[in-house]
C-alpha cells in the first residue's frame, strides 16, 4: 500500500453496470464534501469512458501535458480532479487500449499526481468488475467501496455482485446510495416511482452495510450535467439537499468505519 494514501480516506464509487448515474453521483458528492470544507480529490478511473471533465465543466488539455513525471490535477468547483479526458486534446477521440495500458495509467493517477494534502479521495470506477476495479483494489487495499444502484431489479442484482467482489478482494463496503429513486411532477407535485419502488434500503440490510439515502429523478440534474455545473451547488434543488445529506453521512461513516 502506498504511504501517500495510508492516512487519507479513499472512497471508490462503483455500480457494477452502466446507466445508473454513477459518475454524476461521484462528482456531486465530491463537490458536496468540498463545499463542506473538506479538501477533496477526484480520480476518474473510467479511463476509456471518461466523463468527469464534462460533468465538472472542464475542457481538455494538450496531450503533451501527460508526459511529465508528476501530473497536475485541475481544480473545479473546489475539487482537485485528474482524468484521461484532460489529456486527449479532443473530447470525441476514442481510446482503444488493452488492459495493461489502462492499468499503467491508473497507477500513474494513483501514485504520480500532485494532489497535495487531501481529506478525501473519491474514485469514479468504470462499470463492471474487471481489470480497473481489480487494479484499484490492489493498489489501494484500504479503500472503502460505495455502491450506486437504482430501484430497477437489474441494477440491484449487479450491485450485489459488485459488493461480493469487494468482499472477495477484502475491501470494505462503505454502503449504498440509490439514484433516480422518485420523480416529482413539477406541475402538480405528484410523485412517481418510474423505475419501481426503492429497494436499496433492504438491499443494504441484506449486505450488512449502510444505506445513505436516495436521490430523486430530476430534470434539473440532467441540465446541470450538460452545463458542467454540479446540481449540488443549486441550493433550491431537491437533489442538492439529498446530496448534501448523503455526503454528511458518508463523511461520518468513512471517518469511523
CA atoms of 31 and 243, how far apart (whole Å): 9
Say if residue 16 carries a ligand binding annotation. Answer: yes
Say if residue 78 carries a ligand binding annotation. Answer: no
CA atoms of 29 and 250, how far apart (whole Å): 9
Say if residue 20 carries a ligand binding annotation. Answer: yes
Buried b (16+ CB within 10 A) or exposed e, 213-233: bbbbbbebbeebbeebbbbbb
What are the E-state strand segments in 6-156?
10-14, 40-44, 74-76, 79-82, 120-124, 144-149
Say if residue 85 carries a ligand binding annotation. Answer: no
φ, ψ of residue 70 to 5 degrees: the values are -120, 125
Nearest one of 186, 180, 210, 250 to 10, comparing CA atoms: 250
Say if residue 17 carries a ligand binding annotation. Answer: yes
Buried b (16+ CB within 10 A) or exposed e, 12-38: bbbbbbeebbbbbbbbbbbbbbbbeeb
Say if residue 22 carries a ligand binding annotation. Answer: yes
The DSSP bridge partners found for residue 213 are 177
- Is the distance from CB of 166 to CB of 172 less than 8 angstroms? yes
Q: Which residue has the cell 458528492?
A: 29
What are the angstrom distances between the C-alpha of 53 and each of 23, 43, 90? Answer: 10, 11, 12
Annotated binding residues = 16-23
Binding residues for ATP: 16-23
Amino acid at each position: 500500500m502506498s504511504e501517500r494514501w495510508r492516512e487519507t480516506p479513499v472512497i471508490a464509487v462503483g455500480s457494477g453496470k452502466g446507466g445508473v448515474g454513477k459518475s454524476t453521483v461521484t462528482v456531486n458528492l465530491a463537490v458536496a464534501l468540498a463545499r463542506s470544507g473538506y479538501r477533496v480529490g477526484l480520480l476518474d478511473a473510467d479511463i476509456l469512458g471518461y466523463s468527469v471533465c464534462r460533468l465538472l465543466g472542464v475542457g481538455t488539455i494538450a496531450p503533451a501535458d501527460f508526459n511529465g513525471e508528476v501530473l497536475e490535477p485541475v481544480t473545479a468547483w473546489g475539487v482537485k480532479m485528474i482524468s484521461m479526458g484532460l489529456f486527449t486534446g479532443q473530447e470525441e477521440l476514442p481510446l482503444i487500449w488493452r488492459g495493461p495500458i489502462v492499468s499503467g495509467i491508473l497507477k500513474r493517477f494513483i501514485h504520480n499526481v500532485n494532489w497535495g494534502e487531501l481529506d478525501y479521495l473519491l474514485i469514479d470506477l468504470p462499470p463492471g468488475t474487471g481489470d480497473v476495479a481489480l487494479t484499484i483494489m490492489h493498489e489501494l487495499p484500504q479503500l472503502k467501496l460505495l455502491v450506486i444502484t437504482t430501484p430497477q431489479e437489474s441494477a440491484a442484482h449487479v450491485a450485489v455482485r459488485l459488493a461480493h467482489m469487494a468482499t472477495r478482494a477484502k475491501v470494505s463496503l462503505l454502503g449504498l446510495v440509490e439514484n433516480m429513486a422518485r420523480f416529482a411532477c413539477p406541475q402538480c407535485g405528484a410523485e412517481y416511482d418510474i423505475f419501481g419502488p426503492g429497494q436499496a434500503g433492504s438491499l443494504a440490510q441484506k449486505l450488512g452495510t449502510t444505506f445513505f439515502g436516495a436521490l430523486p429523478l430530476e430534470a434539473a440534474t440532467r441540465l446541470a450535467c450538460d452545463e458542467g455545473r454540479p446540481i449540488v451547488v443549486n441550493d433550491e434543488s431537491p437533489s442538492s439537499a439529498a446530496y448534501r445529506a448523503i455526503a454528511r453521512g458518508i463523511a461520518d461513516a468513512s471517518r469511523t468505519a
